[in-house]
Structure 1
Amino acid sequence: MKKHTVIVVDDQKSVRSMIKRWIESDPNWEVIGEANNPYEARDLIIEKQPEVMTLDVHMPGMDGIVFLKKLLPQYPMPVIMFSSSTTEGAGITLEALEAGAFDYVTKPIGTQESLVEAKEDLISKLYESLNYNVSPSANSQKTNSFDSNYKRSKPTFKRKFILIGSSTGGTTALRKLLDEVDETFPPILIAQHMPENFTALFAQRLNSDLKVHVKEAKDKEILQKGNVYIAPGNYHLGIQKLGNDHYTRIFQTDKKNGHRPSVDVLFESAAEQDLACECIGIILTGMGSDGATGLLKLKNKGCLTIGQNKESCVVYGMPKVAYELGAVTYQVPLEEMIEKIKEIASL
């Protein structure tokens, strides 16, 4: 049986050797080349034509971000970044994702548990990269398929909350989606699979670029329109009613579907509070199935639900499972999603 192929790019030989051992511990994968800088990597890609590349962001001669921007337009392929969990590492990784990287693995901190976790994460993402949509319409320029008068119209929101779940490819998808959101929108709660340090920085970057206020959610914040609340890494985000107001709920119960924050937990919290009829639930690109059962619970209680379509997803995993489960009311391309939200806002 032919094995799937990877090249490993890192300036430290010991790290390359470790990653190679991890990859080749799975009989379906082999490392067909190693490079310690982007120039060697470029030559290897041309010669070997690997299916996937792992890439460190800190390398001599050319950093990983510049390399990605130069490489991917010519050789589109899934690139899995190796990132440190520091704030600096998180910032560079977010840049890499915006530059077109497929996903990232957080470098282990040296404990046996972190080594096992990083290895399992890498193998999982290698397999998911085989479903990578190399040129999704989500990564294309925004379309102008709707006339300007329609775009300028201010919807009347009868639905009081918008709940969004996303994973692989979600950082880019969320940026594109939220770019068209303004202060007239109801509060938006987001569960994006992302570790600690990453979520606060991601929220800060969005907040500096978008028209609405984006923040990493804190516990018991009153939900206000024109605000976006991102679940903090390693914590679940929920919604709760206290008196006549609705608040965020931040808590740290067990992981669900292997994730904390979990999309299912966010969706289920609204269903349990009998808020489904007041919500629009959205599931975006991502690997796995997190969010599908929660979205179905919302839909069954009167929530209007939207799933990102296959063609615009980086990975059509979470939306696919939700759609096949019957949890998706409307399946649309990412670039048409805001218009769909406006269309159904008053329902």
Structure 2
Amino acid sequence: MKKHTVIVVDDQKSVRSMVKRWIESDANWEVIGEASNPYEARDLIVEKQPEVMTLDVHMPGMDGIVFLKKLLPQYPMPVIMFSSSTTEGAGITLEALEAGAFDYVTKPTGTQESLTEAKEDLLSKLYESLNYNVNQLSNIKNNNSTLSKNSNSKTTFKRKLMLIGSSTGGTTALRKLLNDVDETFPPILIAQHMPENFTALFAQRLNSDLKVRVIEAKDKELLQNGHVYIAPGNYHLGIQKLGTEYYTRITQTDKKNGHRPSVDVLFESAAEQEIAGSSIAIILTGMGSDGATGLLKLKNKGCLTIGQNKETCVVYGMPKAAYESGAVLYQVSLDDMVEKIKEIASL
């Protein structure tokens, strides 16, 4: 049986050895090279042609982000970053995702539980990477810099709420989608699979770049037009009605589909409300099936549902599961999604 191939890039030999042990504990994977810096890594990639690379974000000699920007246009491949869970680590990781990294694994803190968690996360993401649509790498620059095509067109929304779920590839997809959103849009609630520290920073970065206000959601915040509410890492985001108005609901109940925040929790929370029939729900790129069940419940309540198409997904997992369950009314490319939203907004 031919094994899938990985190279491990980290300046610490002990870390490289640990990551190699983790990877090769699965009989389907083989580490075919180790590098202590980006220059060694580049030579290994040319020589060995690995399927996947793991990369420490902090590297001597060349910043990991610079390395990605130089490498990926020439050698498109999934790169899984190792990141610390600190605010600084989160910032670098978000930059890496914007530069084309496939996904990231949070470094273990040293406890046995955190070591086991990191190992399982890495192996899971290695398998996810086999479904990576590397064609999306050529769109990274455009996704991050495209000016709104529709900046002067205003839409009258009859739909009172927008809900979005995303995972792998979602940070870039969300930036692309929200770039064309303005203050005329209804409240937008987002469940993106992301840990603590990362969500607040992600919201801040989007808020500084976009036309609308983007915040990490807190409990019982009034939902307002032209505002984007991102589920905080390690918490679920939902909606609740207090009096005549709708507000956020933040809970820390059990993980759903292995995730907290979970897209299904957000979608199912909205499906329980009277507002479900006058909402729009969107499922973007990501591995697995989180969101499919909730999206179908929303559709059955009269919600208009959109799924990202295979061609523009980094990983066509969550949208595929939703589409195959019958939950998706419109399947469109990421580039055309805002136009589709505006087209159906008055229905």
For 1:291 and 1:275, locate their aligned partners in 2 and report how far apart those are by CA, in whole Å: 18
The amino acid across from 2:99 in the alignment is A
2:285–2:313 Cα contact (<8 Å) kept: yes
1:191–1:231 Cα contact (<8 Å) kept: yes
2:99–2:140 Cα contact (<8 Å) kept: no
| Residue 152 (structure 1) shift | 3.4
The amino acid across from 1:210 in the alignment is L
The amino acid across from 1:220 in the alignment is K
Q: Which residue of 2 aligns with 1:343?
A: 343
Q: Which residue of 2 aligns with 1:124?
A: 124
Spell out, residue by residue over 1:43-74, the C-alpha distance to the aligned partner (whole angstroms, 9 max, x if none).
00000000000000111100110000000000
Question: Any unmatched runs of 5+ in structure 1?
Answer: none
Spell out, residue by residue over 1:304-346, the C-alpha distance to the aligned partner (whole angstroms, 9 max, x if none).
0000000000000000000000000000000100000000000
Q: Which residue of 1 aligns with 2:302?
A: 302
For 1:289 and 1:14, locate their aligned partners in 2 and report how far apart those are by CA, in whole Å: 36
2:151–2:180 Cα contact (<8 Å) kept: no
Q: Which residue of 2 aligns with 1:181?
A: 181
Spell out, residue by residue over 1:190-238, the C-alpha distance to the aligned partner (whole angstroms, 9 max, x if none).
0000000000000000000011000000000000000000000000000
| More divergent stretch after superposition (133-142 vs 121-130) | 133-142
For 1:78 and 1:243, locate their aligned partners in 2 and report how far apart those are by CA, in whole Å: 48
For 2:7 and 2:161, locate their aligned partners in 1 and report how far apart those are by CA, in whole Å: 44
- Structure 1 segment 199-210 matched on structure 2, within 5 A: 199-210=199-210
Question: SS in structure 2 opposite 1:21?
Answer: helix
Spell out, residue by residue over 1:121-170, the C-alpha distance to the aligned partner (whole angstroms, 9 max, x if none).
1001000100000012763736xxxx97x763321111100000000000
The amino acid across from 1:59 in the alignment is M
Matched, 1:155 2:155: yes
Question: SS in structure 2 opposite 1:253?
Answer: coil
2:98–2:140 Cα contact (<8 Å) kept: no
| Residue 274 (structure 1) shift | 3.0
Q: Which residue of 1 aligns with 2:140?
A: 139
The amino acid across from 2:142 in the alignment is Q
Spell out, residue by residue over 1:259-286, the C-alpha distance to the aligned partner (whole angstroms, 9 max, x if none).
0000000000001123211210000000
The amino acid across from 2:173 in the alignment is A
Q: Which residue of 2 aligns with 1:331?
A: 331
**TM-score normalized with structure 2 length:** 0.97
For 2:112 and 2:271, locate their aligned partners in 1 and report how far apart those are by CA, in whole Å: 39
For 1:87 and 1:102, locate their aligned partners in 2 and report how far apart those are by CA, in whole Å: 20
The amino acid across from 2:266 in the alignment is L
- Structure 1 segment 1-347 matched on structure 2, within 5 A: 1-136=1-136, 139=140, 141=142, 152-347=152-347
Report the RMSD for the aligned CA atoms in angstroms: 1.3
Question: SS in structure 2 opposite 1:276?
Answer: helix
Identity within the alignment, %: 86
2:283–2:319 Cα contact (<8 Å) kept: yes
For 1:139 and 1:132, locate their aligned partners in 2 and report how far apart those are by CA, in whole Å: 14
Question: SS in structure 1 opposite 2:135?
Answer: coil
The amino acid across from 1:311 in the alignment is E
Question: Any unmatched runs of 5+ in structure 2?
Answer: none
Rate the CA distance shift 1:66–1:138 in 2: closer, same or farther, 3 A.
closer
Q: How many pairs align?
A: 342
The amino acid across from 1:219 in the alignment is D
**TM-score normalized with structure 1 length:** 0.97
The amino acid across from 2:89 in the alignment is G
For 1:122 and 1:272, locate their aligned partners in 2 and report how far apart those are by CA, in whole Å: 35
Question: SS in structure 2 opposite 1:191?
Answer: strand
The amino acid across from 1:194 in the alignment is M
